[in-house]
Amino acid sequence: MYAIKANRQYKITEDEKQKYINMGYKIAELKDDKLVFEEIETEETKEIAKLKKENEKLKKELDALKKDDKKKGEGK
């Protein structure tokens, strides 16, 4: 198991994993000679997910308003 941040890479144990996550490191494991990163839920990832959801909702509202506006324009 590896902790990776910027140009630093440390081989760590399972016991040290949380300590490195708290310091901002990404955790990866070596599988088939490739590093596979673990998905960890942080405050930033929670906020990003929330904002993406809100963005999709606002896009749908905007599309609906554009369609309404076109219908009103055709009626004149």
Rounded mean pLDDT of 2-30?
Answer: 92
Summarised one tens digit per residue, pLDDT across range 17-60 is 999 988 989 999 989 989 899 887 778 888 999 999 999 999 99
pLDDT of the residue at 49: 93
- What is the C-alpha separation between 21 and 38, in angstroms, rounded? 11
Rounded mean pLDDT of 57-75?
Answer: 87
pTM of the entire predicted model: 0.53
pLDDT of the residue at 75: 57
Residue 5 has pLDDT above 80, yes or no: yes
